[in-house]
Amino acid sequence: MGTVSPAATVDGLDPATRFISAPRAASRFWESWLREQGIPRVPARRLVGQHQRLVVVAPHPDDEILACGALLCAHLAQGGTCLLVAVTDGEAGTAGTPGHDAVALASQRRQESAAGLQRLGVPTEPAVVRLGLPDGVLQDRAEEVRAQVAALVRPGDVVLTTWRRDGHPDHEACGHACAAVCDASAVTLLEAPVWMWHWAEPWDTQVDWTRLTGVGVDNDTVARKLHALAAHRSQLTSRSPTLPPVLDSALIERAGWDTEYFFTP
């Protein structure tokens, strides 16, 4: 992930309501509540057909795993193809901590991303395009994100990115940029909540729960997803003696759910 901070006002809602701090609801409570709501749970092929290309637009290294690592595995297993658009190299992941070196961290995170994708079975060539845009300020580069994604998307693709109200400013910027691309090209857009589970509570009125769809994940795929996430060591170790890892225990627990959730059209 990149730096975690309040979201900017991009949809008329108060960004303070999407401020990311400690989770408001425990991972196990979310799982129980989602089951009780009867959220539709479908096979991966219902969201991405075998002959469609899945284009994953990841704001930072590791977002492709947190957002849709299991869906990626399932789509490749059915003979599908994919393209990962890595928007930033995540160089701001430890910004503000002693010894932070943006260049070294970017290099490390690219290597972690490649290792994680390999563990998921995603070929790094030619299935990965790295845009190298600056981490943490994508809202200022939204038009560039939109243009570069538009140049890569083809008719028939399914585009998947982070949700437009996810709380992290880079996640929201990618969500809005991809929504604009998909609206203009009549391409299907799937949006994955990543940080939403931290700032939201069950029944939160900022979340359109009717648009949420789950994809079931078997035990073997859960294990592969967690193994891929473990490659991102820079995000799983403490940033300083007083700062915990970016990927906290709640995120890791959610990565092990037996369902991945997406906002569908």
Position 208: which residue type?
A: D
pLDDT value at 10 more than 70: no
Give yes or no for a cis peptide into 126 (omega within 30° of 0).
Answer: yes
pLDDT at position 169: 96
Question: Across the strands, what pairs with 213?
Answer: 262
The string of pLDDT tens digits covering residues 45-66 is 999 999 999 999 999 999 999 9
Contact criterion met (CB below 8 Å) for 53 and 82: yes
Contact criterion met (CB below 8 Å) for 133 and 145: yes
For domain 24-263, give the fold: Rossmann fold (3.40.50)
pLDDT at position 16: 76
**pTM score of the predicted model:** 0.93
The string of pLDDT tens digits covering residues 116-129 is 999 999 887 779 99
Domain residue limits, the chain: 24-263
pLDDT grade for 69, boundaries at 50, 70 and 90: very high
Mean of the per-residue pLDDT values of the chain: 92
Contact criterion met (CB below 8 Å) for 62 and 232: yes
pLDDT grade for 1, boundaries at 50, 70 and 90: very low
Reported residue count of the chain is 265
Using CB atoms within 10 Å of the CB of residue 236, give its burial: 0 to 12 exposed, 13 to 18 middle, 19+ buried: middle
Question: Pairing state of beta strands 259-263 and 212-216?
Answer: antiparallel
pLDDT grade for 93, boundaries at 50, 70 and 90: confident
Mean of the pLDDT values across residues 207-223?
97
The string of pLDDT tens digits covering residues 133-182 is 999 999 999 999 999 999 999 999 999 999 999 999 999 999 999 999 99
CA distance 260 to 255: 8
Mean of the pLDDT values across residues 212-223?
97
pLDDT at position 240: 81
User: Which DSSP category does 167 fall into?
Assistant: S
